Structures are given as structure tokens and as C-alpha cells.
Amino acid sequence: MTALTLQSPLFMRILLWSAVTLVVAVLVLVGATLVLQLRADRLNARRIAACQRWEAALPEFLFGAGEIPAAFRGVAEADRSFLRQFLNLTMATVGGNEGQSLKQLYFAAGLDADLDPRLRSGSPRDRAVAALEVGSFDLAARLPDLVPLLQDPAPFVAFAAARSLAESRDLAYAGPVLEWVVTQDQYQQERLISLLEGFGPGLLSWLEALLRDRPSLAVEWRLFALLAASHKHHESLPVLLGLLKSPDVEVQAAAIRGLTALGDPVAYPQVAPFAESREPLLRMNAAQALGTLGGNLALPALQALLSDLVYDVRRHASHSLANLGVAGISMLEAVAGNPAADPFARDMAAERLEWAEQRGRA
């Protein structure tokens, strides 16, 4: 048997065919990429052309006689997905009579006819777009179909469903949406406060009734406090003051944030002790709150917080002092110019004064 060596004819044939195969594979890959790119370019050009036609026809429809323009009649099947996107995006920029007119277009084009299969589609993108349509076009009868999507494996689909349910302002769906929010990471929960706001201020009364006599639901109480802050819901003041006694640090911190947003000086005596808390999170929130709630009464406490070992506490204390105006700025200048002052406090005061000066120049 002939040995396979670098010089053998068999080896050279194998090498040649391997090279040919590799070249062919590369050419096929390049060709497939070009074909896909050309298809994508044609599709994008078709979408742009369709949107340009609709944009040109829309003003006359919205502000004119109200007859459906020819551009929106008999839309080709291939362009229906483009029209959905176009109407969804436009709906986010209008309201009132114009919003009602866009809904008329949506139904006239029959875009709701295939909503069922799209909500159950294997494509997460299709499910998300369909869920958003339910909210954008007030399809109240389809809201129950969105509740299962809160458990969708694609996070953006669950978010789309939650957003449409919240925008309905129907508190019958507040429970499922709240349960979904509670399952998210804490940093995500704070971002989702704006989504919960979609239910309107009535959500706070609903949530308070739900949580009454259930102090163990710390996450839900924390969300309540953050919602009270975002809505500046003064009726929640007594509840927020009660939450300052919660055994959960996160709930206490959220309650301080809520009270800061309300800005009622009556809360100052109960918030002031948190400036000496062992918990850095509570000292930081106290540093944010005391100036707002107590004004110049908070000057000694804020000066003490300038020396805190935690940077964020010092930063918020210096910011609160700067916001107090002349009295706060004078205290920062005194600390910054005092060689015997705590180094942490002196550096933070100097940094805040520099920031304040730059902001004044701007």
C-alpha cells in the first residue's frame, strides 16, 4: 500500500478538492448573503414608499373631510404589517379626535381580523406588536387575551401585554400586572413604576385596600410608596408615615422617597432620625429628604452627613445643602474653607461648590 505523504498524488488530490470545496462554500455564503441583503433592501424600500404615501395622505384625512383616502384602501397583504407599524407609531403622537380617526383607519383596513393568530404566533415580535395594538386601539374585548402573555418567555412580549393592560385603566387587570411586576428584579421594578402609572391614581387606593393588614408584603408596599411619590399623591401621607416603621429597610427607604416627593413639612420630625440610621440606604434617603422637608432646620443634620463614610450619603447631603440657597451655600463654604474640618466633608463641600458655580454660569 502506498503511504500517504505530502508528495503523494492522493494527498495532492485531497488538498485540491478541499480547496475547491472551501472556495465553493465561500462563494455560496457570499451569494446567499447578497441575496438576503437584496431582499431586505427591496423590503425596506417598499416599506419606505408605503409610509411616504400614508404620511402624505394622513393630514387631509385627520383634519379634512374625514373620508378614508385611497392610499389606505385595498392595502396589499404584503404591506399590512407596515400599516400596523405606521398606525401604532402615529397613535403614540396624537389623541382626541385624531386618535379616534386613526382607530377608524385601523378597523377599516381590517387590521384586527388576524389578531387572534398573531397573539398566539410563534414569532415573539408578532405577539408583542399584537399586544400593543390591543392597548393602542382600545380593544377592550381583547384585554383578557393579554393576561397569559404576562408569562411569555420573551420579556418584551410580557412588557407589551402589561403596558396595554395598564393603559386600559381597568383595575380588574391591576392584580395580574402587579404580580408580574413583583416577579421582576428590583431595579426593573423601579423602571416599571411608569408602566403601573398607566392605571391612573385610582391604583393607589386599590393597592392600599389590597395591602391593608398585610405588612409582610414588603415588595408591594415598596411599590406603593414609589407610586405615591410618582403621583405626588398627598392622600397617601398617613400611609407613608406609617411605612417609616416597617421592619423592611427597602420599604422605609421608599417611604422616605414618597414623603420627599410630597414635600410636606409635617413629615420632617419623623424622617429626621433616619439621618443617624445604621443603614446607609436610609441615611442616603434622609440626606435627600431633610432639606426639602425641613428647610434651614435641617442644616445641622446635613452638615453631619457631609462626613458620612458612604460617598452617596455625602453627595446627597451636599446637594441638599446647595438647594437650600444662601444658608446652605454658606455652610458649604464654611466647611470647604475649614482646614480642621473632616476631610470627607471638606472635599465634598468643595466639589459641590464647584458644581454650583458651573451651574450658575450655565
Task: Give me the half-sphere count of Cα atoms (radius 13 Å) on the Cβ side of residue 167.
Answer: 18
| Domain assignment of residue 362, given as a range | 275-362
Supply the CATH number for residue 137's domain: 1.25.10
List the chain residues with pLDDT less than 50. Answer: 1, 361-362
Last residue of a domain, one of 200, 229, 251: 200
Q: What is the pTM (predicted TM-score) of this model?
A: 0.79
Q: What is the DSSP string of 126-145?
A: HHHHHHHHHHHTT-GGGGGG
Residue 206 to residue 354: CA distance in whole angstroms? 46
pLDDT at 60: 80
Best CA proximity match to 138, nearest among 104, 110, 171, 114: 104
Residue 236 lies in a domain: yes
Residues 338 and 280 in one domain: yes
Looking at the structure, do residues 100 and 182 belong to the same domain, yes or no?
Answer: yes
CA-to-CA dists, residue 283 to 172, 192, 250, 277, 313, angstroms? 38, 25, 12, 6, 6
Domain count of the chain? 3
Q: Are residues 94 and 191 in the same domain?
A: yes
CB 244 within 8 A of CB 256: yes
* pLDDT of amino acid 362: 37
Are 190 and 213 contained in the same domain? no
Query: Does residue 313 sit within a domain?
Result: yes
The verdict on residue 41 lying in a domain is: no
Q: Does one domain contain both 158 and 168?
A: yes
Q: Which three cell numbers mark 207?
A: 393597592
- Cell digits of residue 360: 450658575
Tell me the three cell numbers of residue 358.
458651573
Cα within 13 Å of Cα(213), Cβ side? 1
| Residue 224 belongs to a domain | yes
Examine the domain organization and report whether 149 and 229 are in the same domain. no
Q: Is residue 361 part of a domain?
A: yes
Same domain, yes or no: 98 and 182? yes
The 8-class DSSP code of residue 217 comes to -
Q: Are residues 185 and 243 in the same domain?
A: no
pLDDT digits (tens, 9 = 90+) for 215-263: 889 999 999 999 999 999 999 999 999 999 999 999 999 999 999 999 9
Question: Of 35, 71, 32, whose CA–CA distance to 54 is shortest?
Answer: 71
Establish if 80 belongs to a structural domain. no
185 and 207 share one domain: no
Instruction: Identify the sign of the CA torsion 299, 300, 304, 310.
Output: negative
State residue 3's pLDDT score: 55
Torsion of CA 287, 290, 296, 301, to 10 degrees: -50
308: buried, middle or exposed (CB in 10 Å: 19+, 13-18, 0-12)?
Answer: buried
Residue 38: the pLDDT is: 84
Rounded Cα–Cα distance for residues 177 and 179 (Å):
5
In a domain, 14, yes or no: no
Q: In angstroms, what CA-CA distances link 110 with 71, 106, 114?
A: 14, 7, 8
Specify the pLDDT at position 270.
97
The answer to whether the CB of 300 falls within 8 A of the CB of 328 is no
Question: d(Cα 290, Cα 272) in Å, to the nearest integer?
Answer: 7
Asked if 171 and 226 sit in the same domain, the reply is: no
pLDDT at 202: 92
pLDDT at residue 97, rounded to an integer = 81
Same domain? For 294 and 210 the reply is no
Which percentage of the chain shows pLDDT scores above 90?
Answer: 60
Is residue 149 helix, strand or coil? helix
Sequential DSSP letters for 317-354:
HHHHHHHTTHHHHHHHHHHHT-TTS-HHHHHHHHHHHH
Does 270 reside within a domain? no
Distances (CA, A) of 353 to 283, 318, 322, 330, 332: 22, 9, 8, 10, 7
Q: What is the pLDDT of residue 170?
A: 95
Please write the tens of the pLDDT for every residue from 191-201: 999 999 999 98
Residue 130 CA neighbour count, 13 Å, CB half: 21
**Is the same domain home to 168 and 113?**
yes
